């Protein structure tokens, strides 16, 4: 099966196509609502891929918002996307610190967990100190 433009955009952003995207595409096909999905994805494409923020900054913003919302799985995805876009440990820790201002220690702790996992998965560095 050929990759759809939607799948291509996600692969460009994350380096892979998240399972949630596969589910979204499959359900839209089963429901006969491909046009609705395309409209949603067009909005997303405009806001993400044609945004004045550079990709790294945008992914760091996404990460911080998701940490404050307590959304672990999507936060991990966006931590990986930020790393792929050039974010390093100080950038990512800065997001954790900033998330603590709005979301308190739960957001900070989630950030530390998510960022540590993303860095370890990206670099293989499991240093704890």
* Closest C-alpha among 74, 63, 127, 73 to residue 99: 63
Residues 6+ apart with CB under 8 A from 2: none
Q: pLDDT digit string (tens) for 21-57?
A: 999 999 999 999 999 999 999 998 898 888 999 999 9
- pLDDT for the residue numbered 6: 83
Mean pLDDT of the chain: 92
Confidence check: pLDDT of 9 > 90: no
Q: Which pTM was predicted?
A: 0.82
Q: pLDDT digit string (tens) for 57-103?
A: 999 999 999 999 999 999 999 999 999 999 999 999 999 999 999 99
**Please, what are the domains in the chain?**
5-49 (no CATH), 55-123 (1.20.1290.10)
Residues 44/31, Cβ–Cβ less than 8 Å: no
* Closest C-alpha among 13, 15, 10, 14 to residue 25: 10
């Amino acid at each position: 099966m050929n990759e759809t433009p939607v799948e291509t955009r996600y692969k460009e952003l994350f380096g892979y196509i998240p399972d949630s995207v596969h589910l979204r595409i499959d359900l839209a096909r089963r429901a006969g609502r491909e046009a609705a999905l395309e409209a949603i994805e067009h909005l997303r494409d405009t806001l993400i891929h044609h945004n004045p923020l550079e990709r790294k900054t945008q992914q760091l913003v996404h990460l911080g918002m998701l940490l404050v919302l307590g959304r672990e799985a999507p936060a991990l995805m966006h931590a990986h996307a930020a790393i792929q876009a050039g974010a390093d440990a100080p950038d990512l820790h800065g997001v954790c610190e900033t998330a603590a201002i709005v979301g308190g220690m739960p957001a900070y702790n989630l950030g530390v967990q998510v960022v540590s996992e993303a860095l370890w998965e990206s670099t293989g560095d499991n240093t704890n100190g």
